[in-house]
Structure 1
Amino acid sequence: MKPLPKIALGTLLALAVAGTVGWFSLDKETRGLLKTVPTNRDLLFWNVPQRDAAFRALDRISLLAKWRVVEASSTPRPLPAGAPIKTLPDIDAYMADQRSSALLIVHDGKLRLERYGLDFGADGRWTSFSVAKSFTSTLVGAAIADGHIRSMDDKVSTYIPQMKGSAYDDVSVRQLLTMTSGVRWNENYSDPNSDVAQFNNHKPDEPGVDALVSYLRKLPREAPAGERWLYSTGETNLVGILLSHATGKPLSQYLEEKIWKPAGMEQQATWILNKTGQEISGCCIQAATRDYARFGMFILDGAVAGGQRTVPDGWLQQATSKRADIGQPGRGYGYQWWTYDDGSFAARGIFGQGIFIDPARKLVIASNANWAGGASDPKTSQAREVFYKAVQKALDDEARQGK
């Protein structure tokens, strides 16, 4: 996850007291944010109430960030209700433990569970964090199908000439997507000196060079390209710049054309921009949880909408299966998807955002949250994995019993 731009705190406070009429014209999420304006301006170090307010309203405060709109479909994909799943764990207890704002289970095209918490609801938009990485990956597949990217084995510098002479000159598009570049990177969310906490503040050393490109092209190589997996949000953001160069379009526009409208999204989304006007492709799509679930259904359908496949034949199977060893038994990493050896896979964002997809069971689980334990919170993360397994078992039990 990339830290968001700094907030002009004084101006925000002025906005909060600008007048009674202005105050009541704001939606409740924005009012909530103004009541709990963060005193520490780095999102990674906000407290729980500040995150509760901000995660649902990042695109409602123009002083917090700039963004582009992704328009909804004129023909939303239906989400018909299905019968409740009878043998799930205690949902109230699970959502409380997760500090969940939304939990949706779609099975065989039917919505079999839809619950909300933290005073959030179906009409709200919650920030994606690194769930956006899997959207970005799918746009790479679309760019290959459209002929904008010739090959997964093309070098990064073919599309971003400013990377020539850097460690990324030897890195392919495939290696960038699998996070096997071999370039040094520190993704420690609790370390204010880590790359993930620092690179947003970097000032470009040349006019016209994106700040991210300027930062990444200075990093040294630590391993041969393709030989080591290392999680790097900076590299997903570089994928976004590569996509924009290749397609000649803003990512939000390409997302709207290739996924958002074809997949039948019901609400508009927004995509937050970095300080040089580029969508933060490793983070920061704001969308309704139902539309995150629809994205899962779109992927479950093979990235086919309206009879048209968005990505090349076979590409999605590669993207959602193990391409890199992450050192965890039974798990791996594909093209910006976390994979399981049973054939399921997931998009994941810090603080509890997730889309879990199990093709064998025609299952999608979409969830948003604000984990009390922080960005990664291993205990709460493991509890979510246990919940996924419980849902799979409940569906297997139904199948054996013939429902």
Structure 2
Amino acid sequence: MPISRRDMLTATTGAVSLAALGDLGMAGAANAAAATPDGAAGKAETNERFLARLLGRDKLFWSPNVQPEGYKSLERILATRPIRRGASVRTFPRKEIGPLTYQDQTRTETLDDFMKLEHVAGIIGIRDGVIRLERYGLGLKPTEHWTSMSMVKSITSTIVGCALHDRLVPSLDVEVARYVGVLKGSAYADVTLRQLLTMTSGIQWDENYMNPQADVNLHYEKVIADRQAGGILAHLATLPRAHPPGTYFHYNTGDTFVIGCLLTAAIGGHLADYFSNRIWSRIGTEQDALFLLESDDGQEVAGSSASATLRDYARFGEFILGGGIAGGRQVLPEGWVVEATKPSAPREDPAGGGYGYQWWTSTDGSFAAQGFAGQTLRIHPANKSVIVILSALPSKEFRPVGEASLTRRANFMRALDAMMGHA
């Protein structure tokens, strides 16, 4: 019987741990025979780099025995740049809620059930500036990073707000080609920043995570793992237009990568440094965070897999809930949070959900940053609440029959929000 790509990955990653990668590098292991992906003459990969590259290429295909360790250790596999914290830490008062239960599909489930069934590494709930719940699982510690996956798209949107406030970008209607020269003459050239933010670029792009040949895997994840500087833009410049810009919502991580390149040009420096200076170092974060890079010391990947601690994600949520005040100073345009988190993309959803500027919106008035494998930062302005859930949800073939539920998370968060309000 032929061995599938996923079976090969599971077998490989089951046998080679991240700790082993570090041991190989520290021991000065022999160089691999193959040249580095960037083609540097006479330069060969160490075993550590070779194995890390293989792991990184298949990040969206990791099996459950790899996900938890990999999600908290991406800096050991891929290129990253620190987002520096500040000198002071914001602490929150605590008032823990009692035992939590919620209803899902006629079943009564508990907090422990939720953490097990949703493969939760960390959950924190804050209401009125008070921590009401904080729990950890899957070996995650409060001081350890966990990948954001696509939650970082909402951070990137917020950096756009900062750039507008600082007049580094004149408006959301600037066209891509003005800032990203590689895309001049491409289908992206006359797409506006607003259209990128709302995922309405109209560019033909395959975001199917389970298809190894999809753009998001072959021309994004693989490029990042191979640390090929300029590789993502080079591919984006070849893509045709599927719809007129601004007319059709299509989720496209490539769009957010372009936002990051546009911002880098407008800012004239690293996104990590700018984000740190304007927000991260001013909101009382405990730890440095990390931006994923396309290549060594290269372009920040604005659309996926930044890393931070559970509490620091919550601090960013509190910053958004507060309307964009960092260190006692307004750093976002007046009304930006309301504008960015209202449904503005032409997205059809039977449940009424919408999409704003890289934020998912809900009919109950909440909005959320969401990422692959169950990463969620959910903010409910009316309830003055922030909930962060970090997870390692396996793909469906690894989940027991009946475990997955499309309604569980929403029901859990509603119950948690209500209970936090009564605490």
TM-score, with structure 1 as normaliser = 0.85
In the alignment, residue 136 of structure 2 is paired with which amino acid? Y
Q: Secondary structure at the match of 1:343?
A: coil
Is the counterpart of residue 369 in structure 1 residue 385 in structure 2?
no
Describe the shift of the 1:79–1:106 C-alpha distance in structure 2 as closer, same or farther (beyond 3 A): same
Question: Structure 1 regions of 5+ residues with no counterpart?
Answer: 1-6, 21-32
1:214, CA displacement in angstroms? 1.2
Describe the shift of the 1:18–1:292 C-alpha distance in structure 2 as closer, same or farther (beyond 3 A): closer
Report the Cα distance in structure 2 between the residues aligned to 1:190 and 1:387, rounded to whole angstroms.
27
Aligned to 2:70: 54
Is the counterpart of residue 238 in structure 1 residue 258 in structure 2?
yes
Aligned to 1:351: 373
Is the counterpart of residue 169 in structure 1 residue 169 in structure 2?
no
1:326, CA displacement in angstroms? 2.5
Q: 2:364 aligns with which of 298, 320, 342?
A: 342
Q: Secondary structure at the match of 2:74?
A: coil
Aligned to 2:33: none
Alignment of 1:188-227 (within 5 A): 188-200=208-220, 201=222, 210-227=230-247
Alignment of 1:245-394 (within 5 A): 245-275=265-295, 277-328=298-349, 329-373=351-395, 379-380=404-405, 382-394=407-419
Determine if contact 2:247/2:346 at 8 Å carries over to the other structure.
no
Q: Which moved more, 1:42-51 or 1:291-300?
A: 42-51
Identity of aligned residues (%): 37
Is the counterpart of residue 16 in structure 1 residue 16 in structure 2?
no
Q: Which moved more, 1:356-365 or 1:115-124?
A: 115-124
Q: 2:94 aligns with which of 77, 81, 85?
A: 81
1:118, CA displacement in angstroms? 0.6
Report the Cα distance in structure 1 between the residues aligned to 2:115 and 2:307, rounded to whole angstroms.
21
**1:286-316 per-position Cα deviation (integer Å, ceiling 9, x unaligned):** 1110000001000000011233111111222
**1:97-155 per-position Cα deviation (integer Å, ceiling 9, x unaligned):** 11100000000000000000011121111111101101100000000111110010111
TM-score, with structure 2 as normaliser = 0.81
In the alignment, residue 390 of structure 1 is paired with which amino acid? A
Q: Secondary structure at the match of 1:351?
A: coil
Determine if contact 1:133/1:336 at 8 Å carries over to the other structure.
yes
Report the Cα distance in structure 1 between the residues aligned to 2:85 and 2:317, rounded to whole angstroms.
16
1:379, CA displacement in angstroms? 3.6
Describe the shift of the 1:202–1:372 C-alpha distance in structure 2 as closer, same or farther (beyond 3 A): closer
Q: Secondary structure at the match of 1:182?
A: coil
1:157, CA displacement in angstroms? 1.0
In the alignment, residue 387 of structure 2 is paired with which amino acid? I
Report the Cα distance in structure 2 between the residues aligned to 1:373 and 1:189, rounded to whole angstroms.
10
Q: Which moved more, 1:100-109 or 1:45-54?
A: 45-54
Report the Cα distance in structure 2 between the residues aligned to 1:53 and 1:359, rounded to whole angstroms.
33
Report the Cα distance in structure 2 between the residues aligned to 1:188 and 1:197, rounded to whole angstroms.
8
**1:339-367 per-position Cα deviation (integer Å, ceiling 9, x unaligned):** 11232100001011110000000010011
In the alignment, residue 48 of structure 1 is paired with which amino acid? P
Q: 1:43 aligns with which of 33, 45, 59?
A: 59
In the alignment, residue 16 of structure 1 is paired with which amino acid? D
Report the Cα distance in structure 2 between the residues aligned to 1:11 and 1:254, rounded to whole angstroms.
31
Aligned to 1:3: none
Q: Secondary structure at the match of 2:126?
A: strand
Describe the shift of the 1:263–1:136 C-alpha distance in structure 2 as closer, same or farther (beyond 3 A): same
Determine if contact 1:156/1:173 at 8 Å carries over to the other structure.
yes
RMSD of aligned Cα (Å):
2.9
**1:13-53 per-position Cα deviation (integer Å, ceiling 9, x unaligned):** 57435789xxxxxxxxxxxx99x989765111221111121
Q: Secondary structure at the match of 2:368?
A: strand
Determine if contact 2:314/2:377 at 8 Å carries over to the other structure.
yes
Is the counterpart of residue 66 in structure 1 residue 88 in structure 2?
no
In the alignment, residue 235 of structure 1 is paired with which amino acid? D
Report the Cα distance in structure 2 between the residues aligned to 1:114 and 1:391, rounded to whole angstroms.
12
Aligned to 1:139: 159
1:232, CA displacement in angstroms? 0.6
Report the Cα distance in structure 2 between the residues aligned to 1:215 and 1:380, rounded to whole angstroms.
36
Determine if contact 2:18/2:69 at 8 Å carries over to the other structure.
no
Q: Secondary structure at the match of 1:81?
A: coil
Report the Cα distance in structure 2 between the residues aligned to 1:218 and 1:18, rounded to whole angstroms.
37
Alignment of 1:16-35 (within 5 A): 16=23
Describe the shift of the 1:38–1:153 C-alpha distance in structure 2 as closer, same or farther (beyond 3 A): closer
**1:200-220 per-position Cα deviation (integer Å, ceiling 9, x unaligned):** 3469xxxx9822221111111
1:71, CA displacement in angstroms? 1.5
Q: How many residues matched?
A: 371
